[in-house]
Structure formats: C-alpha cells, structure tokens
C-alpha cells in the first residue's frame, strides 16, 4: 500500500510541476475557450505577476509533494491551488475538470489524513 501511495503522490506532484512550468514557460497549447473564459484569462493576463506566482506555487508544492518528508508542507502549499481549480471548474461548469479535481482532492485528503498528527502540532 505504501508503494501505491508513493506512486500516486509522485503522479500528483508531477501534474502540479508540469502545470507550474507551463505557467512559467508556456510550452503546452491553450485549449479552445468560450468568450467568458477568454475574458477571465485576459483579465489575469493584465496582472503580469499573477500567473508566474501561481506557477511558482504549483512548482514548489509539487516538488515538496514528491518527497515523503516534505509532503505535509507540500499539501499545505497546494491547498489554495486546489481551491482555485475547484472554483474555476464550478464557475465554468466543466464536468471533466471537476472529475479531475475530485481525484486530485481525494489524493490530497489521503495525505492530509495520514499526516494529521503533524498538522495538529501546527495548530497547538
């Protein structure tokens, strides 16, 4: 079971590392978008520092999530990104996006519950 969890966590981390690198270097093609989504992304583009910041957070969170010793901190770093993914998919109601988010959230919850003792120390 530990090997399965490590493989899932590495895949989870690689997904966020790839997303972060794409926000920094723009190497993946942009999918077609409807007009409302284009307006949102044009608004994000006017804030020059926003997408690089999100990319750095995704990259850092993914790198921390790979290694078991730093996975607890990585889960904290990635949490706001997961909330953003959920919010985006709910606003634009992307069923496939919500399914992907649900899988990512379940993996994240698994890691959080396994490391709950470490989080309790932070809250004391």
Summarize pLDDT for 25-37 with one digit per residue, the tens: 989 998 888 888 8
Helix (H, G, I), strand (E, B) or coil at 32: coil
Reported as a pLDDT band with limits 50, 70 and 90, residue 62 is very high
Give the DSSP H or E segment for 122: helix 116-123
| Greater pLDDT, 92 or 10 | 10
CA distance 65 to 14: 9
Residue 109 has pLDDT above 80, yes or no: yes
The model scores a pTM over 0.75: yes
CB under 8 Å to 11, separation ≥6 — which residues? Answer: none
């Amino acid at each position: 079971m530990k090997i399965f969890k490590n493989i899932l966590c590495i895949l989870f981390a690689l997904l966020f590392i790839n997303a972060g690198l794409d926000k920094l270097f723009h190497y993946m093609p942009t999918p077609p978008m409807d007009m409302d989504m284009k307006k949102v992304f044009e608004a994000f583009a006017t804030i020059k520092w926003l997408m690089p910041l999100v990319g750095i957070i995704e990259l850092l969170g993914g790198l921390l999530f790979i290694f078991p010793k730093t996975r607890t901190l990585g889960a904290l770093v990635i949490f706001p990104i997961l909330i953003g993914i959920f919010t985006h998919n709910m606003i634009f109601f992307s069923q496939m996006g919500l399914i992907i988010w649900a899988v990512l959230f379940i993996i994240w919850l698994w890691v959080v519950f396994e490391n709950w003792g470490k989080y309790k120390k932070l809250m004391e």
